[in-house]
Chain A
Amino acid sequence: MKTLGVYIHIPFCVRKCVYCDFLSFPAEREIQKRYIDALKREIEENAVRYRDYTVKTIFFGGGTPSILPENDIKYIINALKVYYNISPDAEVTLEANPKTAGYEKFLALIDAGVNRLSLGLQSADNDELKLLGRIHTYEDFLKSYEEARKAGFGNINIDLISAVPSQTVKSWENTLKKAAQLSPEHISAYSLIVEENTPLGDRSSDFPPLPDEEDERLMYHRTKSILEKEGYRRYEISNYAKKGFESRHNIIYWQRGAAHTHDYAGFGLGASSTVGASRWKNTNDINKYIMSDGRDDIKEEYETLPQDDLMEEFMFLGLRMTCGISTDEFFQTFGKKAEDVYKDVLYKWTKQGFMEQSGGYIRLTDQGLDFANMVFADFIL
């Protein structure tokens, strides 16, 4: 059976955060409306392509999808329901920021079909939140979280960022503990990546210093130890979940493999799609997107991935997950054994203690995960 993950990009936010390099910006309501119409057109126009698929996950990402009125989300989900086969147990996630949604909106979203909420907290320290350019306080977050629970969300993720300017190991531990105490089903804890084209990455801007290397590494390790003690299991480099609550949508990105069981369709501005060996990306130009007929005129950067690329991705994406890659799956997909294609590399990193193989899986060890990039680079053919 062909299965599909659907990603829907909502490029709007109240205000850009200082570290954010995603495709997002504040926009007037009129633009939002026209965007939602264009999004619906794109979803409809592409329905034929996905006729044989069952949609297993839907993910509204951004930006801040929760700034849209609930009816917009409902409108899009309905469009999907009309034109696509949605699995009855589909995971439907929506990213939300505190202060952009409350009890009533949550109720309406659940009614529309959203069953997983991803709330951006980032830090439990109000000074850090302010520095990051977040529009909310920790207290605002608490309120949103409680209202989401009250409205009936039984699957909530909290996003956190470590190693932000001025942060201490102690304040990060505090953030982790406060988040874990709320007992969300899922926690994503990222180490900050300073991107060049952001205010934080601008050398001339004057932010307090980033934690030094020792502290940053300590924070990274505390994340695992604290969250595991609280009953979360790390299943990907930066993702932790209670048993059975791993993000099914994100796993589609990381687990490549047997044809058409890990395809994903991205709708909306700048969204990427991967279907079999084909990959493309929608335009980043909001005007072009709004004016489009929803067909191929907005698709850019078409590529057909050769087998080597597919194998590389299979490895460096799959190895992000703690369960590793399935050697059977690799063989079924490519007709070659991973142990042969990557013989030298596997030997080298196993010897180094960064990789291990058991039960039909090849995975990075805890130590290996710390140096994942170095190992991944070797899997580029």
Chain B
Amino acid sequence: MTMPQTDQSRIRNFCIVAHIDHGKSTLADRIIEKTGLLTSREMQEQVLDNMDLERERGITIKAQAVRTVYKANDGNEYIFNLIDTPGHVDFNYEVSRALAACDGAILVVDAAQGIEAQTLANVYLALDHDLDVFPVINKIDLPSAQPERVKNEIEDVIGIEAQDAPLISAKNGTGIEDVLEAIVHKIPAPKGNADNPLQALIFDSVYDSYKGVIVFCRVMEGRVAKGTKIKMIATGASFDVVEVGYFGAGQFIPCEELSAGMVGYLTASIKNVKDTTVGDTVTDAERPCASPLPGYKKVLPMVYCGVYPADGAKYPDLRDALEKLQLNDASLFYEPETSIALGFGFRCGFLGLLHLEIIQERLEREYNLDLVTTAPGVVYKVHKTNGEVIELTNPSNLPDPSEIEYMEEPVVNAEIMVTSEFIGSIMELCQERRGRYISMEYVEETRAVLKYELPLNEIIYDFFDALKSRSRGYASFDYDIKGYERSELVKLDILINKEEVDALSFIVHKESAYERGRKMCEKLKDEIPRHLFEIPIQAAVGGKVIARETVKAMRKDVLAKCYGGDITRKKKLLEKQKEGKKRMRQIGSVEIPQKAFMSVLKLDDQ
């Protein structure tokens, strides 16, 4: 099948940026539907979010793209390449590469809620990439919609023209024509010369068991076709292109070639996504471009935790599952580790907590694994007295305090957007989490942007939930990594029946050690079932006990009655009791349920 040679001036490469729930995916669906790529009947809701998890959570995890043709009012047909970007701060780098593949962006703002923290973060990111951004006001069908107020807010806060922004309801299909025309007129056509050496930006890739890695790319300069010998500049890997094509809705449609300005995919029997990292530049091995496209960086995991199979025998299954997930997700890191408490498992690295949760859920759902995960931690830099610096991802590996000169932890720049009535409680939250106040700016009379520097380890557990609950859901939050700062950190150890449980250790700021230790002991007291003997639970820092709770000895465990009619039922109870026991981890003579290992995650529950 061939794609008609297209005039660059009839191509529009764009993305949609929005705060979560402002209607990004619904608008994308309407654009696809209205341009006739699919009838609404054929279309499964939200074509672009095609992982089950994405649909359930209403978020986009992987970048996706779709090509569609629009016959504009000027009588010409335009090719729209809509690139859907991930919508979460964990995936900021992926977002930036997807934006770099576009020439313009549609900013969707909820007519009732106005601008939120993610709106700002994403718009700034788009403007940083020199994209032309035009706003649309969505959800005008809501009774609480205030389109005029939102228009003014966009002009005041972001400083882009908004008076003629299309007023739409993506849900009802209102105003979509206006959006399509605006795409033609307000988003610039791509530039670039097809005769120059090939220069294409990789903005995502997926693994296919037949074709190998399918590389999603935007051709900036030159052309690529079947047979082109390509080279990835950053990784240095080279391949012979097997197929190029563009994106139908949920399918790959092969074509003759991709030339400057076009968005599409290529395959080249690539076995490993590691060879096709996002942000890398693809060039022609025989006629390479002079320099790579700007902005490439190697993405490093920010959050680590131990992942163990609940059933030790499932270790090989877990390894296979991680291997398969990594085929599609180069940012997932894992290496084998052993815990005295949990046996054989893996230390896994993630871009952030959402990424961690997604991987965990996919392992459990798609690979049917029952997991025990340890408390997530960040990467600390330990400066040893001998001058050596180690990057600590597992608290158990912390050197003896006498060998430590000092430690550093990652710190983020956080922006929190909040209505004025909650400013006090949000500032309090940030103080509790060791935040350093930077500034506060009112974006309008009743809303402000709070800027704080926060240690990453204070926000990886439940900061987002705390933020939501203290602002009745009104605060929004975004952050990026600022860098490492020296900090007074200690390792908090948990001793159960006088035995240290390695999987429960974590790194904590000296000031919060007592509080955390106390809460941890309280939590564990509730999680650990009574035994025939009393069990002390202690929190210790450097061998010194700072908190203690006791699980009292069990006094009695007997069912008073059992007659003919309830033997089956009673047997089920005993089976359950036995099953529960099997799922416990034995530490010395104490049996610890698996969920106790996750309890540190929920220390702030009331």
Most B C-beta atoms less than 10 A away, residue of A220, A369, A377: A377
Distance of A341 Cα from B173 Cα, bound (Å): 71
Stretch at the interface among A74-82, A140-148, A287-295, A313-321: A313-321
Mark contacts of B537-578 with chain A using CB atoms, 8 A cut-off: 1 yes-contact digit, 0 otherwise. Answer: 000000000000000001111111111110110110111011
Name the distance in Å between B557's Cβ and chain A's nearest Cβ: 5
Q: How far is the CB of B283 from chain A (nearest CB, A)?
A: 66
**A242 interface contact, C-beta 8 A:** no
| In-complex Cβ contact of B557 among A193, A270, A373 (8 A) | A373
CB <8 Å contact, A373 and B558: yes
B290 close to chain A: CB less than 8 A: no
> What distance in Å separates the Cβ of A261 from its nearest Cβ neighbour in chain B?
15
Interface contact A373-B555, CB-CB below 8 Å: no
Q: How far is the CB of A11 from chain B (nearest CB, A)?
A: 12
Give the contact-size bracket for chain B: 20 to 34
Q: Which residue of B lies closest to A237 (CB)?
A: B558
A320 touches B562 (CB 8 A): yes
B564 surroundings in chain A (CB, below 8 A)? 5, 7, 252-253, 264, 266, 272, 274
Query: Mask for A82-102, Cβ within 8 A of B = 1, else 0?
Result: 000000000000000000000
A-side contacts of B561, CB under 8 Å: 190, 193, 238
Q: How extensive is the interface on chain A, given as a class? A: 35 or more
Assess A377 versus B555: contact at CB under 8 Å? Given A190-B561, A253-B562, A266-B564. no
A250 within 8 A of B: yes
- Cβ of A352 under 8 Å from chain B: yes
> CB < 8 Å: which of B556, B565, B573 contacts A217?
B556
Scoring B561, B562, B575 by chain A CB atoms within 10 A of each residue's CB, the highest score goes to B562
- How many interface contacts (CB-CB < 8 Å) are there between A and B? 92
B560→A191 contact, CB < 8 A = yes
Please report the C-alpha to C-alpha distance between residue A253 and residue B574 in the assembled complex, in whole angstroms.
17
B1: interface (CB < 8 Å): no
Q: Is A216 an interface residue (CB 8 A)?
A: yes
Is residue B313 within 8 Å, beta carbon to beta carbon, of the partner chain?
A: no
Contacts of A377 in B (CB 8 A): 574-575, 577-578, 581
Determine the distance from Cα of A313 to Cα of B574 in the docked complex, in whole angstroms. 11
Shortest Cβ distance from A236 into B: residue: B562
Q: Which residues of A contact B581 (CB under 8 A)?
A: 377
Contact of A193 with B559 at beta-carbon distance under 8 Å, contacts A266-B564, A272-B564 already known: yes
- Tell whether A374 pairs with B568 under 8 Å between CB atoms, given A253-B562, A352-B532, A380-B575: no
Q: A272-B567, A313-B571 are in contact. Are A371 and B560 (CB under 8 A)?
A: no
Q: Are A372 and B558 in contact (CB under 8 A)?
A: yes
The answer to whether A279 has its CB under 8 Å from any CB of chain B is yes
Cα–Cα, bound, A264→B570 (Å): 18
Tell me, in angstroms, the Cα distance from A264 to B565 when the chains sit together: 11
Which residues B566-599 have CB closer than 8 A to chain A? 567-568, 570-571, 573-575, 577-578, 581
Is A128 part of the contact surface with B, judged by Cβ < 8 Å?
A: no
Contacting residues, chain A, for B562 (C-beta < 8 A): 253-254, 317, 320
Cβ B565 vs Cβ A370 within 8 A: no
Q: Which of A253-282 contact B (CB under 8 A)?
A: 253-254, 264, 266, 270-272, 274, 279, 281
Closest chain-B Cβ to A324's Cβ sits at a distance in Å of: 16
Q: Could you give 20 example pairs across A and B, Cβ below 8 Å?
A: A191-B558, A191-B560, A193-B559, A193-B561, A214-B555, A252-B564, A253-B563, A253-B564, A272-B568, A279-B568, A281-B568, A313-B571, A370-B557, A371-B554, A372-B557, A373-B557, A373-B573, A374-B577, A378-B578, A380-B575
* With A213-B556, A309-B571, A317-B567 already in contact, 7 other A-B pairs whose C-beta atoms are closer than 8 Å: A5-B564, A191-B558, A316-B574, A317-B562, A372-B559, A377-B581, A380-B574
A-to-B contact residues, CB < 8 Å = 5, 7, 190-193, 213-214, 216-217, 220, 237-238, 250, 252-254, 264, 266, 270-272, 274, 279, 281, 301, 309, 312-313, 316-317, 320, 352, 369-374, 376-380
